[in-house]
Amino acid sequence: MGKLESTIKAEIQRLAKREIRATFVPLRREVRSMRLKLSGLSRGILSLNRMTKELHLEEAKPKLETTPEEVKASRLTPDRIRGLRKKLGISMRELGVLTGSSLSAVLSWEKGKFKPRGEKKAALVALRKLKKREVRKMLTEKVDKKPERTRKSRAKKTRRMNLSKKRR
């Protein structure tokens, strides 16, 4: 009698496993295809986020306009660049923000190591035409548009700093 019970029990277990397998195999396939779709969608979102970030950076660039003739005719010496900055009452960093360049570039222009070219020169020529109030207004708009760092990017930076400390 005991052998019959164990045989029936084993057969029931085998059939139950078979039924479960028959139910779950299609579900596994569906889950796999959904995961593939999800990864494709997340890649798409990442590329869209990248594009929006680039658009925000383009919007953050100054909309200073001047004619190519004015740019070509202008002579920007280190003293004139420094004088323009002093006249507008802005720092080197703020001048860099307005022209879309770095602090070190502005420093190099004022020292005479390099001359501004292209868009940067055009921006400096256009800044000549502006008054202090207009420049201040542009700077406040740029600071307001500046995207704040997210918690995730701060965590990445902290992680990098911790890794560099461990290597020392």
- In the prediction, which pLDDT does 27 show? 92
CA dist., res. 69 & res. 41, Å (int) = 48
Whether residue 73 sits in one domain with residue 10: no
Q: CB under 8 Å, gap of 24 or more: what pairs does 49-55 form?
A: 53/147
Q: What is the CATH number of the domain that holds 87?
A: 1.10.260.40
Segment 41-64 shows an average pLDDT of: 81
- In the prediction, which pLDDT does 104 show? 94
- In the prediction, which pLDDT does 2 show? 75
* Banded model confidence at residue 45, pLDDT cuts 50, 70, 90: very high
CA dist., res. 19 & res. 5, Å (int) = 21
Number of structural domains (the chain) is 2
pLDDT at 109 over 80: yes
The boundaries of the domain holding residue 138 are: 68-144
> Is the Cβ–Cβ distance between 56 and 145 less than 8 Å?
yes
Residue 161 lies in a domain: no
Task: Kindly state the helix (H) or strand (E) to which residue 102 belongs, with its residue range.
Answer: none
Residue 153 lies in a domain: no
- In the prediction, which pLDDT does 147 show? 55
Global pTM reads: 0.51
> Is the Cβ–Cβ distance between 124 and 99 less than 8 Å?
yes
The amino acid that residue 58 corresponds to is E
Token pair in block for residue 75 = 């002579």
> Is the Cβ–Cβ distance between 142 and 59 less than 8 Å?
no
Whether residue 15 sits in one domain with residue 76: no
Farthest CA pair distance, the chain: 110
pLDDT at 165 over 90: no
- In the prediction, which pLDDT does 62 show? 47
